[in-house]
Amino acid sequence: MKVKDVLDLIKSEDVEYVDVRFTDPKGKLQHVTLVVDLVDEDFFEEGFMFDGSSIAGWKSIDQSDMKLILDPASVYIDPFYAEKTLCVHCNVVEPDTGEPYSRDPRGTAVKAEAYLKASGIGDTSYWGPEAEFFLFDDVRYSVTPHKVGYAIDSVDAAWNTDTEYEDGNLAHRAGHKGGYFPVNPIDAAQDIRGEMLSTMKRMGIKVDKHHHEVASAQHELGMIFGGLIEQADNLQKYKYVIHNVAAAYGKSATFMPKPMKGDNGSGMHVNMSIWKDGKPLFAGDKYADLSQEALWFIGGILKHAKALNALTNPSTNSYKRLIPGFEAPVLRAYSARNRSGCVRIPWTESPKAKRVEARFPDPAANPYLAFAALLMAGIDGIKNRIDPGPASDKDLYDLPPEELAEIPTVCGSLREALEELEKDMDFLLAGDVFTRDQLEAYMTLKWEEVYAYEHTPHPVEYAMYYSC
């Protein structure tokens, strides 16, 4: 959309408010709601001032003024507000110079797309994230000096087969790790997922499917691929819709990678491809019908995987999912169709659909930073012709210990990921896509999370050590 199109939409839809939205460094969507009378062509050009010191990891209070510049291509009508409200995603700029603010995640993604074009490698990249989530009926937690713990429940969960309910227990539930994917009444979330998907479609997102996932109370909706900025915006909308539709049904949604012990965690597989002059760059005559550029792209991701973890798996909870010996893709290997490595080449008959799938990211990631970082790693692989080595077509979950020991892994903790990012960030700094100041500020925020986690006694420690 152009600005004129947006203003016409405001009139035709009788919009009362305009919600300007942006994403903070941790990936949380933020917003300010404005009376529609304030929004005209000048408003789009001049932007909206706000206090950047209120956002963790951004401005100090003595330099707090910042400006939001609205992107007219990102508008949609909010489906949840009582008053008709038009939403628009924004980039953050310095108010005195108009230059992009270096710590703005969306601005970083914009620069990553520009860097791809400037590199001459390609002119377009396509992204298809697959983010999983959980729906719970009751969530309680406590982090106080005298009480640390949590309790979750879902009526649909396998552990409730013998729970006494006032209206009786109807018993139709998927067993442990049995949620992929029986029909209703075992899958009791058909209607809520359907409403989520149809809501996303009304907001302009191209969608294709929804289904129950492997774990109890775990689900996934499908979005059709799109450009980097478009899909990062869409992932923010995806989370927004799921949280709000769940709340309307009296449920609580979470994108925590590992909210419960002993069952599958939530990943966010990211499908990627690069095109140039209208042709798919990743289609060729090498392994799995990939091009040499695609193999080098994989090489870049595998080489920088541990540094990428700080951005693609940015929570301490992420590494409860990335544990060797289970189903999570922790091994830095690649293969066609094989889901046990951290990079997979999905099977397709069409060269246009040839793509690379990174399987280690999770939905706690800030999508703008995660997608930009993955693209930068892949470009580094192509520019430096990084050989990914031979493909791993065996079941990596069933290798002999001596073979398994020879395959490198991704990080085992957020602490390790931050240490790796500190050592290996030059590929992100290329073309000033990321800046050192931005990454250092991001790491400062994440070190606070590491210390909070590491300094807090855990209930498991009481079970193991209280009577020692």
Is 213 marked active-site? yes
Within a 10 A sphere around the Cβ of 434, how many other Cβ atoms?
24
Q: Are residues 49 and 184 in the same domain?
A: no
Instruction: Answer yes or no: do 68 and 134 share one domain.
Output: no
Which DSSP category does 101 fall into? P
Q: What tens digit of pLDDT does each residue of 123-145 get?
A: 999 999 999 999 999 999 999 99
Look at residue 268 and tell me if it is in a domain: yes
> Residues 84-101: pLDDT tens digits?
999 999 999 999 999 999
Q: What is the pLDDT of residues 381-390, one digit of tens each?
A: 999 999 999 9
CB contact set of 66 (below 8 Å; sequence gap of 6+): 49, 50, 51, 52, 58, 59, 92, 93, 94, 95, 101
42 belongs to an annotated ligand binding site: no
pLDDT for 91: 97
Neighbouring residues of 30: CB distance < 8 A, sequence distance ≥ 6:
21, 22, 23, 24, 55
Structural domains of the chain, count? 2
Q: Note whether 386 and 250 are same-domain residues.
A: yes
For residue 381, give the 3-state DSSP assignment.
Answer: helix
What local confidence, expressed as pLDDT, does residue 175 receive?
A: 85
Residue 320 annotated as binding? Answer: no
- pLDDT score, position 181: 84
For residue 172, the cross-strand partners are: none
- As given in the structure block, the two tokens for residue 94 are 């310095």
Report the pLDDT averaged over residues 440-450: 97
Domain finish residue from 101, 136, 159: 101
Structural domain range at position 377: 124-465
Q: Domain check: are 364 and 262 in the same one?
A: yes
Q: Prior bond to 360 cis, omega within 30?
A: no
Please tell me the predicted confidence (pLDDT) of residue 461. 95
Q: Is 359 a catalytic residue?
A: yes
Q: Is 357 a catalytic residue?
A: yes
The model's pLDDT over 176-203, given as tens digits with 9 standing for 90+, comes to 888 888 899 989 999 999 999 999 999 9
Single-letter amino acid, residue 282: F
pLDDT at site 401? 81
Q: pLDDT tens digits, residue range 43-75?
A: 999 999 999 888 999 987 777 889 999 999 999
Structure confidence at residue 326 (pLDDT): 67
- In this prediction, residues 371-375 reach a mean pLDDT of 98
> Is 213 labelled a binding residue?
yes
Give the pLDDT score at 300. 98
Instruction: With 0.75 as the threshold, say if the pTM is over it.
Output: yes
Catalytic residue among 213, 230, 233, 293: 213
> Does residue 319 register a pLDDT over 80?
yes
pLDDT at 340 over 90: no
Q: Is 344 annotated as a binding residue?
A: no
pLDDT above 70: residue 361: yes
Q: Same domain, yes or no, for 229 and 81?
A: no
Mean pLDDT of 25-30: 96
| CA pair distance 449, 445, nearest whole angstrom | 7
User: What is the predicted pLDDT for the residue at 318?
Assistant: 97
Can you give the pLDDT at residue 45? Answer: 94
User: What pLDDT is stored for residue 17 in this prediction?
Assistant: 98
CATH number at residue 156: 3.30.590.10
132 in catalytic set: yes
Catalytic residue (choose from 71, 132, 230, 420): 132
- The string of pLDDT tens digits covering residues 144-185 is 999 999 999 999 999 999 999 999 999 999 888 888 888 999
Q: Angle 234-240-243 (CA atoms, 0-180°, nearest 5)? A: 140
Rounded-to-integer distance, Cα 55 and Cα 24, Å: 7
User: Taking a C-beta distance cutoff of 8 angstroms, is the pair 273, 334 a contact?
Assistant: no
Q: Residue 396 pLDDT more than 80?
A: no
* Active-site annotation holder among 31, 176, 211, 339: 339
DSSP class of residue 290?
A: B
pLDDT: which is higher, 404 or 223: 223
Is 94 among the domain residues? yes
The catalytic residue among 8, 42, 51, 191 is 51
Q: Are residues 11 and 152 in the same domain?
A: no
At 208, which amino acid appears?
D
pLDDT above 70: residue 325: no
CATH of the domain at 42: 3.10.20.70
Structure tokens at 389: 């080595």
Compute the average pLDDT of residues 268-274. Answer: 98
106, 219, 359, 415: the catalytic one is: 359
Q: How confident is the model at residue 33 (pLDDT cuts 50, 70, 90)?
A: very high
Q: Reply yes or no on whether the pLDDT at 328 is more than 90.
A: no
Residue 467 in tokens: 């009577």
Is 359 labelled a binding residue?
Answer: yes
269 is catalytic: yes
**Residue 294 to residue 297: CA distance in whole angstroms:** 5
**Confidence bin at 393 (pLDDT 50/70/90):** confident
Cβ neighbour number for residue 46 with a 10 Å cutoff: 12
Beta-carbon count within 10 A of 277 CB: 8
Structure tokens at 352: 């246009």
Please indicate if the annotation marks 406 as binding a ligand.
no
